[in-house]
Amino acid sequence: MARGEDLTHLPSVAEWVDFARPALTGLLDIPPKDPALPDAVQRHVTAQLMTLRGYPQIERGTAEGQLSLHGWFYRVDTGDLWELDETRGVFGQY
């Protein structure tokens, strides 16, 4: 997505990217090699979790133990995965 690659051969991925694009507008302006990009994406993941928790259905599901939310940051180019530790507010490699 950040590189603007042609995804016509991956229609499901292209559809997901098109759906996500409006929420990621500010992030897409950051060049893929910019060292600030991972931090910006991680802040976005954290903000999205906060937004999700604002929905009554999500709040109810988590309160009842039926649902748990996790924030992950995945580097497609390296395969590295980080998970948000919400207690500490930091991402750690998974």
Q: What is the pTM of this model?
A: 0.69
Q: What is the model's pLDDT at position 1? A: 52
- Please provide the DSSP assignment of 17-59 as one string: HHHHGGGGHHHHTS-TT-TTHHHHHHHHHHHHHHHHHTSHHHH
Q: Is 4 helix (H, G, I), strand (E, B) or coil?
A: coil
83 contacts 92 by C-beta, under 8 angstroms: yes
Q: What is the model's pLDDT at position 2? A: 53
37 contacts 44 by C-beta, under 8 angstroms: no
Q: What is the model's pLDDT at position 3? A: 61
Domain 11-93 has CATH 3.40.1050.10: yes
Q: What is the model's pLDDT at position 4? A: 67
| pLDDT, one tens digit for every residue, the chain (94 residues) | 556 678 888 888 777 777 677 767 777 778 878 888 899 889 889 988 988 899 999 999 999 999 999 999 998 878 999 999 999 999 999 8
Q: What is the model's pLDDT at position 14? A: 79
Tell me the one-letter amino acid at 77.
Answer: D
Domain residues of the chain, as ranges?
A: 11-93
Q: How far, in Å, CA of 66 to CA of 62, rounded?
A: 6
